[in-house]
Structure 1
Amino acid sequence: MLVSTNAIVISKLKYSDNDLIVKCYTQHYGMLSFLLKGVLKSKKGAVQTAYFQLLSQLTIVVDYKTNRSLHTIKEVKLNHLYSSLHTNVVKSAVVMFLSEVLSSTLKEEEQNETLFSYLETSLLWFDSHEEYANFHLLFLLKLTKYLGFYPEVNNLEYDYFNLQDGKFEFNPSSKYAISGENLGLLKILLNTSFDNLSEIKINAKQRQLFLNMLLLYFELHLGSFKTPKSLQIFNQVFS
């Protein structure tokens, strides 16, 4: 069955000399994997490697068959042409890091229009803005809303946040209770939009510590989550 859907490229892996396996988060079918035969050899044809840069936004025509692990792309075109995500060195590092996080968190082959819309609009915001030092922090925090473990905002005035339970608490109840600068930044980000990100002033060390806390939060709530291999390179770019 040929179907058309918007898609965001999440990962790609070389398979044999001339083939690629590409994973995309699609608007209508969730996460799907595609085998692109001969795409590394051919410079002609409807499907070319240039389309499949990480987090690219595409419209694809798919030969979709239920219960198949690898699908075939018949046609592809760019849905949005980024102006900076793949040419700005720092943004490219963010793209690599976030795509690895998404690859580890987005597993379901089912439609989730609100999650797809969030990915689409937030990436477009990132592409079009020049002040983005804290983008990845807010992106990951907001992503938890769609993954089912967004922090409960009751008792926001309390002095601790329990990463394991996702709740603010008056007294620490476990080793996963955070306080201090990480807690303060968490409270700020919970009340911040992407358009107000430039108002948050933190240094590289604070940013790195908060990111490590966020990744632990993901690990505690997603059993399959793995710390991105690109984290070390990413931290060097933002140091």
Structure 2
Amino acid sequence: MQSKGKAIVLSTLRYKENDLIVKCYTNKRGVVSYLQKGVLKSKRSKTKAVFFQPLMLLEIEENYIPGRSLQFLKEVRSYIPLKSIHTNVLKASLSVFIAEVLSTVLKEEEADLELFTFIETAIQFLDVSGNFANFHLLFLLRLTKHLGFYPDTSKDDSPYFNLESGLFEVEKSSVYALEGQLKNQFKLLLDADFSTVDQIKLNITERRDLLKTLLVYFELHLGNFKKPKSLQVFIDVFQ
């Protein structure tokens, strides 16, 4: 069955000598993996491999067969050309990190247009942004809303935030409770959006601590979550 739609590239895996397995998040079917035969074979084919960089926004025409583990793409093109994500060293490192997180947490093979739109919009913002030092922190936090464990902010004036329960609390009830400056910075993230998040003044250590905190939050609420392999490279390059 031929079908057209949109896809966000999450990961690629070289298969045999000239083929790629491309894992995507699509607007119509959720997570789908495609086998791209011969994409690395010739110079002409290699130009197509550029389409499969992390977080590329693609318009696809697929030959979809329900129940098949690997689908096939008939046509592919970039529907929103990205200008800086793959040419800016810092943004490229960030895109690899975010794509790996998404590849880990997105499992469903069903449509979630709200989640797709969130990711698509965030990628476009990152591409045009000149100040993106805190972008990944807000992206991870906002992603939890779509994954079902966004913090309950009804008592966000409380002195503690419990990472296990996702609640702000008056008393410290867990070893995973945030307090003091870290809790206050976490609260600032909750109040921010992509256009204002870089107004939060953080030094390198504070930014790393918040990232570590968010990844622990993911681990506590997603049993199969593992820290991205690209994390240390991302920290070394980006921080």
With the length of structure 2 as denominator, give the TM-score of the two structures: 0.97
2:108 equivalent to 1:100: no
CA contact (8 A) 1:46 1:76 kept: no
Question: Which residues in structure 2 correspond to 1:189-208 (within 5 Å)?
Answer: 189-208=189-208
Residues 1:47 and 1:90: Cα distance change in structure 2 (over 3 Å)? closer
Unaligned runs of 5+ in 2: none
Contact 2:96 2:230 in 1 (8 A): yes
Q: Distance in 2 between matches of 1:54 and 1:131?
A: 20
What is the match of residue 56 of structure 2?
Answer: 56
Instruction: Tell me, in whole angstroms, the C-alpha distance in 2 between the residues paired with 1:140 and 1:20.
Output: 28
CA apart distance, 1:137: 0.2
State the SS of the aligned residue for 1:237: helix
Change (3 A) 1:46 1:234: closer
Retained in 2: the 8 A contact 1:46–1:74? no
* CA contact 2:38–2:45 (8 Å) conserved in 1: no
Aligned to 2:20: 20
CA distance in 1, matches of 2:164, 2:16: 42
Secondary structure, in 3 states, of the residue corresponding to 1:48? helix
Cα RMSD (Å): 1.3
Cα distance in 2 for residues equivalent to 1:2 and 1:127: 31
Q: Flag the 1:212–1:46 CA change in 2: closer, same or farther, 3 A.
A: closer
Q: Find the residue that maps to 2:184 and give its secondary structure.
A: helix
Length, aligned pairs only = 239
1:76 match: secondary structure? strand
For the 8 Å contact 1:30–1:112, the answer to whether it is kept is yes
1:57-110 Cα offsets, whole Å, 9 max, x none, are 000001111111100000001011111100000011100111111110011000
- The more displaced of 46-55 and 121-130 is 46-55
* Amino acid of the structure 2 residue aligned with 1:138: L
Which TM-score applies when normalising by structure 1?
0.97
1:204 offset after TM fit, Å? Answer: 0.6
- Give 1:44 shift: 3.5
Q: How does 1:138-149 map to 2 (within 5 A)?
A: 138-149=138-149
